[in-house]
A and B are shown apart, each in its own frame.
Chain A
Amino acid sequence: MKVIKNLLFISVAFILQASLMPVFEYNNVVPNFILVLVILIGMNFNKYTAAVNGAVFGLLIDIFFSPALGVNTLVLGAVGFICGSASEYLVTDNLLSLILYMIAGTILYNLFSSIVIRVFIDTISIRYIFSKIFSMEIIVNIAMAIMVFLLKGRTFIYSFINEIEGNDEYDEA
């Protein structure tokens, strides 16, 4: 039942990302709701929960959009794992830490993606890689995360995941 609930949560988030988020495109960048979710899960749950959630999100993106299977599974899983590991040592319950996590998470996501793409898929130039890593996406994702923070979306997301995972790691500050 927990697995089904978790898959349902991931499926709904994926559908919202793929079919609704393009409406909010700004400056050629679509808010990456899935990446924001994976970072938020990493900030507040253990690294394995974040990695598994990230990997399943990534698998769905790979099935529908990637030229090769496994790219986003690996990259989003890794981002979730690193954010989860960092949250064992760093503060996660204020707005500033949220912004810093979003900056680091988005940079890591694009850095890992560029490495995988360059090694396995396409010979992209270093200039192109830098333009993608330090892009408008960071700002757009921060804006989305702040919106989630202000709208108390965290409470919903965390209590939902808590229920699925069966732990009480999150306490809203």
Chain B
Amino acid sequence: MRELKKYRDRIVLTAIVIVLLLVIGFTSGGRKALTTVERVVGDIFSPVMTGVAYVGNGISQTIDSVVEIPSLKSTNEYLESENTRLMDENLRLNDIVARTEYLKNEYEITKKRNDDYVKADIIGKEPGTWFDRFIINKGMNDGIKKDDTVVVGITSATDNVVVEGLVGKISEVGDNFAKVTTILEESNSVSFKNIRTQDSGILYGSQDNMLEGYLFYNQADIVADDRLYTSGMGDVYTGNIYIGKVHNVISDDQDMKKKIIVSPDVDFKKIYRVFVIKSEVYTDESN
């Protein structure tokens, strides 16, 4: 008994470590939902984090603005002329859409999907460097579900058009918050299609904010600067969301695979607000 008392601290410590290892083992395979304790803690913290993140984002955007002041004047002039051009173009396109049945339907579908977006602010980012995750201030109460696709509006560098850029997916949902796993995380894979050839494959997170992947068909035609979109296969990500451009193609004769390195167009360092596509609602309505 005296021996037991002597080693009490060590025994307690070992027991705690074993329990934690078991918890990690049980929860590492992914969970369907958060526990009640996690939801309560999340509900308490998320409103405060929203306020602090608002201040933080304000500071960050102010710093960005100060840095960008020299280029603002020329940007403003460019935007004014661009605005005039786009207004003309918008009038012309509205005319075409109104006259073409096919385009009209497509426009309606796009409009419907726009209604299924939930706009959310990023209120916290992971402290370490091991996972690329963040939390947003919208959750179950706003209709967000696990595996919903998260996007952000970006201007494609190739053709200067605003598109939906893929950010990641919802991994867990609380009442007023949700966890987002970005596509940069190694464990997060995305099925893609090459918009030029319609060949498809798989991408997953890599180092240095790049994505790595391979094509299903090793003779597929793919070159640098090809644009990749989500294929919608696997029912995880909504289809036709822009991922990024092919940076490099590496033919691996040993593995009989065509490996690609992709640079996403989303600037993950500078996203403060995202859009969550409520995929289930969209699928149900469109079916």
Contact = CB atoms under 8 A, between A and B. Distances in A.
22 contacts: A18-B49, A18-B125, A18-B127, A20-B55, A23-B56, A28-B129, A29-B129, A35-B127, A35-B128, A61-B127, A64-B45, A64-B135, A64-B179, A65-B134, A65-B135, A69-B24, A70-B20, A71-B24, A74-B17, A116-B24, A128-B186, A131-B207
Contacts of A113: 128, 130
A68 B26 CA distance: 8
Contacts of B181: 67
Given A28-B269, A122-B186, A65 B209 contact: no
Contact of A23 (B60, B127, B129): B60
Contacts of A110: 128-130
Q: How large is the interface on A (under 10, 10 to 19, 20 to 34, 35 or more residues)?
A: 35 or more
A78 to B, nearest CB: 8
B131 interface: yes
B30 interface: yes
B128 A70 contact: no
Contacts of A18: 49, 123-127, 135
Given A64-B179, A73-B20, A74-B21, A17 B127 contact: yes
B124 A19 contact: yes
Interface residues of B, number: 46
Contact of A70 (B13, B27, B63, B130): B27
Nearest to B17: A74
Contacts of A77: 16, 20
Interface in B109-126: 123-126
Interface string B24-49: 11011010000000100110010011
A15 B181 CA distance: 19
B48 to A, nearest CB: 6
B79 to A, nearest CB: 27
Q: Which 6 pairs between the two chains have the least Cβ-Cβ distance? A: A18-B124, A19-B52, A68-B28, A70-B23, A19-B53, A70-B24
Given A60-B41, A65-B131, A68-B24, A30 B125 contact: yes
Given A61-B127, A74-B21, A122-B186, A68 B45 contact: no
Interface in B125-155: 125-131, 133-135
Contact of B52 (A15, A71, A73): A15
A77 B187 CA distance: 25
B96 interface: no
Given A64-B179, A65-B131, A16 B52 contact: yes
A165 interface: no
Contact of B124 (A64, A71, A137): A64
A22 B129 CA distance: 12
Given A74-B21, A128-B207, A61 B126 contact: yes
A137 B129 CA distance: 8
A25 interface: yes
B38 to A, nearest CB: 5
B17 A19 contact: no
B224 interface: no
Contacts of B57: 23
